[in-house]
């Protein structure tokens, strides 16, 4: 059965001399894998539509097993991302995280919209660190994780000076700080942004400017939380981290 879908290419794997297996996150069906025959040949009509990060419409022959891509129409190839080494690294992490957090054929139009907006904002020049952190915070629920960000995770107080406790799974107030000697000390700006990123609607993102110190704290807390609870070990994240170190040397 030939069907049309709207989607974003989140992974491609070479298959044989000329074919590719393309993983697409679609609005209609969630994640699907399709064979793109001949896509590795530069003159193939499937070669540009099957590039990583491409957002478009795909005509797919679906059956019980792996479907096959018949044709496609590019809406955007995210050129600003693909032409920039740093942005490519960020976007690669976003799509790998998406791939690892989702199962095939489980539609989630909300998640599709989030993925599209994240890559689109990145392509338009919004701060990739901020976008990455928002996406990470929003993926937590998809991973079955619910950090406590609206109150102290120990006593439930909503006022006070907050730190972040990996062990308690969220904010910890100054009264309870003794419960976790390994808490992260964070500034009020970081508290506010962790909350905002978790709860905000991404389509309402304005031009947020975040100080370097706040960025460093956000990264430290979110990475530590992922390391402890997500069970994920993504090679694109390792690459991003090493690139980050390298960039600070420049």
Residue ranges in 118-157 that form contacts with Zn ion under rule CB under 5 A:
152, 154-155
175 interacts with Zn ion by CB under 5 A: yes
Stretches 72-80, 99-107, 175-183, 230-238: which one binds Zn ion (CB under 5 A)?
Answer: 175-183
Q: Whose Cβ is closer to Zn ion: residue 41's or residue 175's?
A: 175
174 interacts with Zn ion by CB under 5 A: no
186 interacts with Zn ion by CB under 5 A: no
Stretches 136-144, 165-173, 184-192, 210-218: which one binds Zn ion (CB under 5 A)?
Answer: 165-173
Q: Whose Cβ is closer to Zn ion: residue 96's or residue 168's?
A: 168
Q: Which of 21, 35, 89, 173 binds Zn ion (CB under 5 A)?
A: 173
115 interacts with Zn ion by CB under 5 A: no
In the complex, minimum distance from the CB of residue 192 to Zn ion, in angstroms, rounded to a whole number: 18
The pairing of beta strand 55-61 with beta strand 2-15 = antiparallel
Q: Is 233 exposed, middle or buried (0-12, 13-18, 19+ CB in 10 A)?
A: exposed
In the complex, minimum distance from the CB of residue 150 to Zn ion, in angstroms, rounded to a whole number: 13
> Please, are residues 173 and 152 in contact by the beta-carbon 8 Å criterion?
yes
167 interacts with Zn ion by CB under 5 A: no
**Residue count, binding to Zn ion (CB under 5 A):** 6
Q: Which of 32, 114, 139, 176 binds Zn ion (CB under 5 A)?
A: 176
Q: How far is CA 212 from CA 8, 23, 162, 205, 209, in A?
A: 31, 35, 20, 19, 10
191 interacts with Zn ion by CB under 5 A: no
Q: Residues interacting with Zn ion, by CB under 5 A?
A: 152, 154-155, 173, 175-176
């Amino acid at each position: 059965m030939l069907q049309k879908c709207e989607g974003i290419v989140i992974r491609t794997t070479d298959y044989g001399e000329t074919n590719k297996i393309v993983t697409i996150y679609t609005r209609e069906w969630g994640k699907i894998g399709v064979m793109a025959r001949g896509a590795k040949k530069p003159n193939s009509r499937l070669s540009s539509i099957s590039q990583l990060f491409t957002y478009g419409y795909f005509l797919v022959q679906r059956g019980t097993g792996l479907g096959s891509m018949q044709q496609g129409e590019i809406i955007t190839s995210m050129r600003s991302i693909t032409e920039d080494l740093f942005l490519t690294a960020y976007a690669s992490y976003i799509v790998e995280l998406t791939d690892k957090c989702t199962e095939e054929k489980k539609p989630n139009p909300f998640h599709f919209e989030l993925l599209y907006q994240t890559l689109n904002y990145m392509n338009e020049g919004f701060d990739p660190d901020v976008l990455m952190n928002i996406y990470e915070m929003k993926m937590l629920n998809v991973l079955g994780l619910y950090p406590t960000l609206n109150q102290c995770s120990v006593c439930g107080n909503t006022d006070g000076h907050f730190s972040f406790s990996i062990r308690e799974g969220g904010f910890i107030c100054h009264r309870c700080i003794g419960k976790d000697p390994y808490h992260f000390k964070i500034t009020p700006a970081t508290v506010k942004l962790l909350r905002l990123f978790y709860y905000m609607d991404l389509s309402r993102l304005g031009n947020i400017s975040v100080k370097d110190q706040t960025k460093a704290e956000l990264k430290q807390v979110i990475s530590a939380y992922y390391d402890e609870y997500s069970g994920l070990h993504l090679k694109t994240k390792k690459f991003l981290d090493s690139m980050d170190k390298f960039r600070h040397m420049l």
